[in-house]
Homo-oligomer: A and B are copies of this chain.
Amino acid sequence: MPERPFHHGSLRTVLLDEAEKVLRERGVDALSLRELARDAGVSHGAPRSHFIDRKALLDALAERGFNRMAAEMRGAADRESSDYAQSLRACGHAYLNFAVKDSALLDLMFAAKMDDPPDSLIASAEGLFGAISDIMGAGVAAGVFPEQSIERLTILMSATMQGLSTFVAARRVDTALGSALIDDAIALFLRGASAKSESHT
């Protein structure tokens, strides 16, 4: 194995992979371009070729986070596709799992100071939202959600999962309770939404 001439086109990926690890183990504040460069065996100016500044690296991390989470949500829904309510629960648990394992990354993805996000990041974020929309849309086909309110229900369901994730990640709610509350929320939404559609007929 070569001692030095590692990177020829792969430095970007190497930096992102290591950054994701640091983010997970020590948080955003511990993320330093110079340290990443040191660990990759390149000079401190090298990352500049791939990330214009620290914010660009963080945006790239958030983008990968959105893509991975969308994939995990779709995967969870597909594995439990027999019973709709169960597939919905699987998605909720996938969301919570992501939040527990990568809480700093999730924070990054929904950071309030999202000033002028690059187009690719917006696209990835919409990819996650699209995945959730598709899953909720399947509920219309399954007859458990009324079509006219599906857009709002999608946002509400997402928001509930996001909020629970925040509380669990912040250790204000136990992981087991958080998991049970995901199920409660889904049951509540199923009851509330169908009650509304019945009151319409």
Q: Which residues of B contact A167 (CB under 8 A)?
A: 110, 155, 158-159, 162
Q: Give per-residue flags for A155-173: 1 if the beta carbon is below 8 A from chain B beta carbons, else 0.
A: 1101111111011011111
Q: Which residues of B contact A187 (CB under 8 A)?
A: 192
Quick one: which of B170, B177, B196 contacts A191, CB cutoff 8 A? B196
Determine how many copies of this chain the complex contains.
Answer: 2
Given A111-B170, A170-B111, A191-B191; A181-B155 close (CB under 8 Å):
yes
Closest B residue, CB atoms, query A185: B156
Closest B residue, CB atoms, query A170: B110
Given A27-B113, A112-B103, A195-B191; A156-B184 close (CB under 8 Å):
yes
Size bin of chain A's contact surface? 35 or more
CA distance A166 to B165 in the complex (A): 11
Closest B residue, CB atoms, query A180: B152
Quick one: which of B110, B125, B166 contacts A159, CB cutoff 8 A? B166
22 A–B contacts, CB within 8 A, in A order: A27-B112, A27-B113, A104-B112, A107-B111, A107-B112, A112-B169, A112-B170, A114-B170, A114-B171, A129-B172, A156-B181, A158-B163, A159-B181, A160-B160, A160-B185, A163-B166, A189-B192, A191-B192, A191-B196, A192-B192, A192-B195, A195-B195
Q: Which residues of B contact A189 (CB under 8 A)?
A: 188, 192
CA distance A161 to B167 in the complex (A): 12
Shortest distance between the CB of A44 and any CB in chain B (Å): 20
Any B CB within 8 A of the CB of A106: yes
**Most interface-central of A106, A160, A173 (chain B CB within 10 A):** A160
Any B CB within 8 A of the CB of A193: yes
